[in-house]
Structure 1
Amino acid sequence: MTRPPLDGPDETVTREVDSGVAELLPDPEVPQAWTLCLNGTPQSYVDLEDPTRLEFEYVRRLAHVADVAAPPGEPLRVMHLGGGALTLPRYIAATRPDSDQQVAEIDTALIDLVRARLPVDPAWRLLIQPGDARAVLAAAPEGAFDLVVTDVFTGARTPAPLTSVEYVSLAARALGPSGVYTANIADGAPLAFARAQVATARAVFPNLCVLAEPAVLRGRRFGNLVLVASRVELPLAELARRTAGDPFPGRVEHGEALTRFAGDTPPTTDQTATRSPLPPRGSFGIRS
């Protein structure tokens, strides 16, 4: 694939986008690899030569979900809510050729930057749709997808409209009977937001689990928890094996342990929804 030249082989690319300031930081050790930061918060890591290279812990966990959503190599129909630098769509396109993928990203200037500076293979069946994530999801045909991924952050926080039972119900409607819903959740002690998100998903789906580092699950540090939910039984053993083998090993919380984790926290509705908590300074490499 022919790629347009960047500003320089070792130069940071800085652009004003709709949501603030975007930076593309080159990896000094990996040619053609870049980290996307938005307003000082690292959002995505992309290796243009190897789309299967995943540096961010939570992206690896989302990739595990995609890996077990269907037999190896089988195409998937995927809706990505939140685009960033398209790390997960690139991974799925590389590992599951002929997958049909749709990405909803509200920041059109960011889309333009990523297309120009970190272009995707034109042979990939990847549609990038400008627009609000919830509105795009609401307009999706019923049963159109095998996997719906929520990974939307504005100012390092998930917007409130993407945290409610009504929102998760839209995802369930867009999924086929055996489809999988997954969401990237960021939280820290006392994990009130994460507990509410588990209760919210449980109000819609009968089967769910959470992938995270033990320290995050215990509230010892702020971090990412990947929520997975489905109408059908989840491949818990395979998810646990893959998660335990990560560079930052995690575990899969499910069943009674997950019930205890959520406790008596009520599901979140549109009327009670709030944004996810603001990460402490220094979390995820946040510079301000």
Structure 2
Amino acid sequence: MHPDPDHLDFEYMRHLAAAVRAWGPPPRMLALHVGAAACTLPRHLAHRYPDSGHIAVDVDTTLPELVRTWWDLPRAPRLRIRAQDGLDAVASRREHSLDLVVRDAFAGDETPTHLAGTDWWAAAARAIRPGGLVLANVGTRPGSRAAAADAAAARAALPVAVAIGEHAVLKGRRRGNVVLAAAHGPEVDIDALRRYAASAPLPTGVDPGWAG
């Protein structure tokens, strides 16, 4: 993790942050992060949006709790870290109780099946408020159908699902990460995402019809 919370090392993290900017979060945003890891994105968003609140869940909170001792992570209630399964965390939320849901959880190089299926996406769609946003980091590789199933589940729950990623990855030619930004309506400014993509360090595309 970089000492500066504004600095994001990984391209997909920059895509996630760009999607939040293109969405335009409410001043007192409440976000649930499924897959806490080092809490890089919660730390970044808490810095960028000082009145926001973040809940980071992981099946193993050893790493995020260690990161608290290494880096200046926001303290509760700005950032709460919980040991919890990602599907349980989303499904147990009250309806319309979150502004943002971020999924960045992996088993190896793919999202655990129960976090990429219709149950998870339906729970996430139910949990967000009107005008809310769900972001998912999707691992892809040529020949795998997991990403296609993930994208189909997203669109079954949320009619708008825009993909951001390197051109070769979006086209299934190379292994990598694609960020899905999904919402009930036109909350995401696609033109703003395209402007971001045009200035990204690597050749980046925005695809509102990406099917994995």
Q: Please indicate the TM-score interval, normalised by the length of the shorter structure.
A: over 0.9
CA contact (8 A) 2:100 2:133 kept: yes
Corresponding letter in the other structure for 1:67: R
Among 96, 102, 105, the alignment partner of 1:152 is 105
Once the two structures are superposed, the pairs formed by residues 1-288 of structure 1 within 5 Å of their partners are 46-48=1-3, 50-70=4-24, 74-122=27-75, 125-233=78-186, 234-255=188-209, 258=210, 261=211
Return the letter of the residue paired with 1:196: A
**Secondary structure of 2:146's aligned partner:** helix
CA contact (8 A) 1:144 1:176 kept: yes
The runs of 4+ residues in structure 1 deviating greater than 4 Å are none
Contact 1:208 1:254 in 2 (8 A): yes
Unaligned runs of 5+ in 2: none
- 1:253 CA drift (Å): 0.4
Q: Secondary structure at the match of 1:47?
A: coil
Compute the TM-score of the two structures, normalised by the length of structure 1: 0.69
Structure number with higher relative contact order (C-alpha < 8 Å, ≥ 6 residues apart): 2
Look up the SS of the partner of 1:239 in the other structure: helix
The size of the alignment, in residue pairs, is 211
**Structure 1 SS opposite 2:157:** coil
Q: CA deviation at 1:145?
A: 1.0
Mapped to 1, the partners of 2:182 and 2:114 lie a distance apart of 19
Verify the 8 A CA contact 2:22 2:190 in the aligned structure 1. no
Alignment partners' CA distance in 1, 2:89 and 2:118: 17
Q: Distance in 2 between matches of 1:195 and 1:81?
A: 20
Q: State the 1:249 CA deviation.
A: 3.1
Corresponding residue for residue 26 of structure 1: none
Q: Which ranges of structure 1 fall in alignment gaps of 5 or more residues? A: 1-45, 263-288
Give 1:143 deviation, angstroms: 0.7
1:74, distance to aligned residue in structure 2 (A): 2.8
Aligned CA-pair RMSD: 1.8
Letter in 2 for 1:70: G
What is the percentage of aligned positions where both structures have the same residue?
Answer: 37
SS at match of 2:192: helix
Is the CA contact (8 Å cut-off) linking 1:85 and 1:118 kept in structure 2? no
